Structure formats: C-alpha cells, structure tokens
Structure 1
C-alpha cells in the first residue's frame, strides 16, 4: 500500500505476502460488494491505489474486460508480477507526493492506504483530481481508535496480553504518522472535497481464521520494533503467538470504514481528457 519510507509494515518483508492474503480473505467480499453496487462494468477505467496484494486489481480486470483499463500503483511493486501478467498496468507511485497518473478514471479505489500516508490530504486531492466528472471514489480505511481491542471479549490473561500488544503496535503506527481515527472522518472529508452522493458503512469481523493468520504475521513483522521500543518482551510475544496459533483467542480487526462519493458532473474540469472507451 502506498506510504512513505517510514511505513511500519514493509511490503518487502517475508510476512507481507501472508498479510496480503489474510487481508484479502477478510475484506475482499466487502470491497467487491461496493464495486458491484457502484456498477463497475465492461469498459470502465479503474485506478487501484496502494494495491498491496493483487486480488482487487485482478477482480477489476476481469469485470472491466478487454475494453477497460486497470492501473495498480504502490510505492513498492515487488508483488506485481502476477498482476502484470493478467493485464493489469503496474506503476510505482507515491499517491501523497507524485502527480496523479494520466486519466481520467471512472473508479478510483484505495483500501488501508490513507490511514498510513502522512500526506493524506494531498493524496485525497490527487485521487479526486484523477476522476472523470461523475466518476466514483471509494476509500476504505481502518479506524483503530473506534474499536481499540483485538480481543473485544477480554475475559482472561491471554486476551489481556493480546490487547496490550495491540496497544504497543498502535503506538508504533502513531510514531510513523498513522492517523488511527481517520476512518470515521472519511464521509465529511469527501463532502468537503466537493464529492456528491456521499455514503459510508463499516465492517469488521470479530472471529475468523484469517484474523489469526493476520495477527501472527503482523506480530512477527513488527516483533523486533516492539521489543526495541520497550513495548513488549520476547516472552510476551512468544506466549501470544502460541495462543494465536492454538486458536484460543477470538481476534477482531479494526472497523473498516468504506466511504464513497462521485465527482460532480458539471465542473467541466476534465472536458479535455480522452473520451471513454467504447463498450
């Protein structure tokens, strides 16, 4: 996903692929439901921002067909070999700092991106600028502050330890510039940016095998940083990973806020852009 060089969960680490697969298992169904409701269809031009794993771009590529376009961007495109071979355009791009890619686009989508991007206001403006009049922006971001517990049912010492480690992980995120209450502000931000027909909803699982996989991969990925910052000990982390892998914890995710809106059709700012492809 798009982020500056301080991004805590580096896509180049060994655990990144496991995290991508778990996030896909947890959230793709909700994301694809929003795409279907928006009417994504043959011939659409789509920009997938901070793509991370390839599943969303692949779904869009299949839906828009040969007459459409899917562009997937990220600051680290090491995951993109499969996506590129399946007809998805791939571009290394920092959405908070670089000019938007040539458009316009019928759909711009970002999932779990802006919460981490320190230049998130600029990133949001760039995504909106890339839309055609009437085009749809869908932004999906976690709001860890809205529901801060990874074990909402904190009924014993293992659950208490899991929540302490999650607090430490979120402290590391804050130190890297993440905005842990960003998701709830998305509807207002989209309206203030001039989008119309703005709506939003929220989704998060509270028990899932994919939650266990995601937690184990995440903890392993940030283990050294947690210990170095004095936020956890190796013994605590080992005990937590053992409890996760034994399936003794009902693990949740942060609420995923999905907010969407359309660029007004009467602004005329993209009238000089290429016409939409034939369908």
Structure 2
C-alpha cells in the first residue's frame, strides 16, 4: 500500500487480519491462476507490491524455490513479516513515492493496491521500471463503481440497509482519493505504458461465506467513520452486523479486474 492522509482501511487495525484472510479465500484462486498462466516457476524474481497478508507471498515462495527471490513490500509489514524467510525478503516501502526495491524482476504483482494510491501513475511506472525485458506485470484492482451494491437482490429492509452502508463506504473512499472506477482502466493503462500482449478479465463474487466475513470486518473497521460522517447510527450498524451474522443475505463484493502484460 502507500501512505495516504486518513487511509480508510488501515493495516494497523485488528480487523485488517480478517480482511486479508477473506481476500485470500475470495481472490487467491484467481490470482494464482493468472500467475500460473504467466509462467511462474523456479528461479523467478518476484515483487509483491502492497503485500498485506502472507497468502500470495507464501505461494510465490514455493513456486520460485530456493533459487528464486520474492520481495514483499508494504508501508506496514506487520501482517506479512511472518513470511520473511528465504527466498522471501520483507521491506517497508511506499510504491507511490519510493524507488523500486530492485530491478530485473520476472513478475511484479499488485492486488487491491493502486486504487488507493494517490499517485497511481507513478506507482504503475515504478512497477514497470522494475521489470526485466520480457518480465510480466499483473495488476488486480477493484471497480466499485462498476457494481456498487452489497446486495444485488434488494428485496427487503435488511438489503436496503446493507446497500446504504456500502454507498456510504464508497463515499468515504472517494473522499480519501480512491479511484472507484480504476479497475476498468487497467487494460488501457498497461497498453499506454508500452506493455505487450495486454489482456484482462474480472472475478465477481456474488455470494459466499467469505463475502459475509469481509463485509463484517470492513464495517467494524470503518464503524467510527460511518457514524462521524452521519452515514449511519450505531444502531444501524449493530443491526446490519446482526443481519450479516444470521447468514440470510446474499452479499456481493465489487468486481476484481485482473490485467496483465509483458515488458517489451
């Protein structure tokens, strides 16, 4: 991740660990499928940008083996530090302002990172700069504007409350500089940056236990901001969390768009 003023979903909060776990449940299969397609293998040098948790870093370490290298960076490495043993190197790093942590990478990956970075263009160019010729870039980011609802099937007051809170969260993210339509721009941005063979797809979870766990962790994490902004009352939030815990609602997440290409 990168430093922002008043970042809404701070890694230092206790709920961050649950969010990272649900990201792994929801998105790791898609991420790993793309990395396999890009040819990840023994001896590869990889940079995991905004690592957050350990699931992707640990998977990469197994794939590259003892002859490879995985550099895992974030501005807060509290949760990823447990993976910091060879071939993994964990570094405190701000992708939006710092120089790349090396060059000649075979694969650079960022998931759910750039949408929150104020200087997204600089971050993207830094990632491309760090690639070797022929190296692969895989960027995966959400597009909340493409699908703004928490409950696609809004048939009752529980779903209406869930969607109101999701709308409030989107407003808070936008106020803090998040680009809620960033995911859809990725193919164009990668092509305009000179990458070859650019492709993209999207994964859109509609309902799963992991979606419910992510919703609960996220709402708990931003509860104070929702109340302070007048978006919801404590009673609203308690009611929503109870509704989520009941397991009777189908909760969706924003589509995650994956885009990839190789450096000429």
- Tell me, what secondary structure is at the counterpart of 1:148? coil
- Quote the residue 1:176 is aligned against: 176
Instruction: Tell me if the contact between 1:2 and 1:49 (Cα under 8 Å) persists in the aligned partners.
Output: no
The DSSP-based 3-state class of the residue aligned with 2:257 is: strand
1:44 aligned residue: 44
| Rounded Cα–Cα distance in structure 1 between residues aligned with 2:46 and 2:66 | 13
Alpha-carbon distance change, 207 to 65 in structure 1, aligned in 2, over 3 angstroms: same
> Number of residues paired by the alignment?
264
Post-superposition CA distance 1:136-190 (Å, at most 9, x none): 0000000000001010111111001100000001111001100000000000000
SS of structure 2 residue aligned to 1:137:
strand
Gaps of 5+ in 1: 265-279
Residue 134 of structure 1: how far off its partner (Å): 0.3
Aligned residue for 2:114, secondary structure, equals coil
| Equivalent residue number for residue 72 of structure 1 | 72
Q: 2:106–2:132: 8 Å Cα contact kept in structure 1?
A: yes
Question: Counterpart of 1:228?
Answer: 228
Name 2:153's counterpart in structure 1. Answer: 153
Deviates more, 1:133-142 or 1:74-83: 74-83
Question: Which residue is 1:63 aligned to?
Answer: 63
Write the distance in 1 (CA, Å) between the matches of 2:80 and 2:162: 33
Partner of 1:262: 262
Aligned-residue CA RMSD (Å): 0.9
SS at match of 1:85: coil
Secondary structure at 2:174 match in 1: helix
Query: In the alignment, which residue of structure 1 is the partner of 2:195?
Result: 195
List, as ranges, runs of 4+ consecutive aligned residues in structure 1 with deviation greater than 3 Å.
none
Q: Give 1:142's aligned residue.
A: 142
Q: Give the TM-score of the pair, scaled to structure 2.
A: 0.98
Partner SS, residue 205 of structure 2: coil
| Residue 216 (structure 1) aligns with | 216
Deviation at 1:86, TM superposition (A): 5.9
Structure 2 CA distance, aligned partners of 1:207 and 1:178? 25
8 Å contact kept, 1:3–1:116: no
